[in-house]
Homo-oligomer: A and B are copies of this chain.
Amino acid sequence: MLQLEVQSPEMRTPQATKTAVMVIGGAEDKVHGREILHTFFCRSGSSDAHIAVIPSASREPAITGGRYLSIFGEMGAKQIELLDIREREQCKAAETLACLETCTGVFLTGGDQLRLCAVLADTPAMQMIRQRVKRGHLTLAGTSAGAAVMGHHMIAGGGSGESPNRSLVDLAVGLGIIPEVIVDQHFQNRNRMARLISAIAAHPDRLGIGIDEDTCAMLEGNALLQVVGKGTVTIIDPGEVSYTNQSQVEAIAPLSVHNLRLHILSHGDRYHLQHRTVLAPTHQLPS
């Protein structure tokens, strides 16, 4: 796609725009208020936004990606690109890196988180996304599978309707954008509390974040998490855990996990990821 304006090798979002990492629980509103997608559009620079959609998690990348292209186009983004990455080789191609070096927003669609990681992990493309996110030059959003990959540890699959137990969750390695968290998505909608607790029991140095559908945990500056959307974000904090039998019992045995801290957060709630505290409630979010 032709660059209309080339200012510098590395573009960045307009100075007034605060970039963010947006972890979306899936099934975000694509038709009516589009609150979460519009927030992504704004955080990518609004009418100055240059958005790259990466549909690599999806089995139908053109269809899945195309839908987001239309939405961000309707919103008035300046430039939109589909980065239809299906092979790891594409992650070092010059045109891919040129796009990722200049875009102001990257959107990871849903699909299969294992496929997404298989294609993107440990590639120059991922390295560029990570660095630009860290510098605050790029807003990164992921929905469903695109959300699952955000932690170092990733939930690849699992079940529900059982007592928490080690075999209830399949863990893999994610993309590590927010390494200290383990994300679960479609969270209350698919009754995933037991599997997230099982994951956190196995990795009590991490923080469990369960995100409902049409809900976003939006992280600013590597520390401040805000909730946007229709459902809840569940935080499972094992920082004070006094005992777990996790390493002592067989995989299907029910777990003991004593003294977890649990927060149910809804729209407007803010949580400090480093301090592990909920901030005093406010209904006035900075835009």
Closest-CB distance, A122 to chain B (whole angstroms): 35
Q: Would you call B281 and A160 a contact (CB within 8 A)?
A: no
**Which B residues touch A236, using CB under 8 A?**
262
**Which B residues touch A131, using CB under 8 A?**
none
Closest-CB distance, A82 to chain B (whole angstroms): 32
Q: Would you call B261 and A260 a contact (CB within 8 A)?
A: yes
Interface bits A248-271 vs B (CB < 8 Å: 1, else 0):
000001111111111111110100
CA A161 – CA B278 in complex, angstroms? 25
Identical copies of this chain, number: 2
Q: Would you call A232 and B264 a contact (CB within 8 A)?
A: no
Closest-CB distance, A259 to chain B (whole angstroms): 7
Q: Would you call B262 and A266 a contact (CB within 8 A)?
A: no
Q: Would you call A163 and B212 a contact (CB within 8 A)?
A: yes
Q: Given A253-B266, A260-B264, do A281 and B163 touch, yes or no (CB 8 Å)?
A: no
**Which B residues touch A39, using CB under 8 A?**
none
Q: Would you call A163 and B254 a contact (CB within 8 A)?
A: no
**Which B residues touch A191, using CB under 8 A?**
160-161, 191, 193-194
Give the interface centre of A230, A245, A254 by most chain B CB atoms within 10 Å: A254
CA A253 – CA B264 in complex, angstroms? 13
Q: Given A245-B266, A261-B261, A266-B245, do A255 and B281 touch, yes or no (CB 8 Å)?
A: no
